[in-house]
Chains A and B, each alone.
Chain A
Amino acid sequence: DVKVTQSSRYLVKRTGEKVFLECVQDMDHENMFWYRQDPGLGLRLIYFSYDVKMKEKGDIPEGYSVSREKKERFSLILESASTNQTSMYLCASSSAAGGGISNQPQHFGDGTRLSIL
C-alpha cells in the first residue's frame, strides 16, 4: 500500500517566519504534488514535481517554493509566512503516466494543518 507521510499534522508559526513542510513517499513515484485545501475552495495545486529537481507551478504558487532533491521527498517552503497562508496542506504522489493512461491516481498524505499567527 502506498504511504505518503507528511512530517507534521499540526503546525503553528508566526508571520514572517520561513516554514518548511515535508512530505515523503515510499512507492518510488515519479510525481509529487502540494495542494491547499480550504473550505468552499476545494483543492488547489500549489506546485508539482515530475522528477528530481524538476518542478512546475500550479494554480497558486505565489508565496511558496518547493524542493525535490531526492525522489521520495518533496518539500514545500513558505518563504515569509503570512496569515492568509493559514490552511490545510496536502501532499500527494502518483506514478508516471503509461499504458495509454495520462493520469495515474494520486495518493494523499494525512495533511498538515498550518496556522500562521
Chain B
Amino acid sequence: DSGVTQTPKHLITATGQRVTLRCSPRSGDLSVYWYQQSLDQGLQFLIQYYNGEERAKGNILERFSAQQFPDLHSELNLSSLELGDSALYFCASSDGTATFPTGELFFGEGSRLTVL
C-alpha cells in the first residue's frame, strides 16, 4: 500500500461526457502528479501540483484540467471525452522536499477509464 488513494477505481462512460478523478496523496506529501498509461503511449506525465500551485505541465490536453485543494487532495477533470481517452490514470505523490534527484514518487493504484 503506497498510501496514495485514487477513486474511482473503474469508470465507464460515453463519448462527449465529463468525468472527475480524485486523488488523496500520502499524508504529509505536498506534491501530486498525474500520469496517463495507455497501451500505445505507455506512461505519460500530465501535470504536477505542489502545495496547491501548478508546478509542471506535460502532454496534457486542453480538454483536461486539474487542481490541488487546500487539504492537498487533487482532482483531474476530463471533458468532451473521446474513445482515445480510455486509459489508466495514475496519481503519484512525493513530499516535494526530497533532495533531487533521488526523490521517490509513490503511485496510487490508478483509475481505469473506459470511454464507449
| A and B associate in one complex | no
Binding site for B on A (CB under 8 A): none
Give B residues with C-beta under 8 Å from A: none
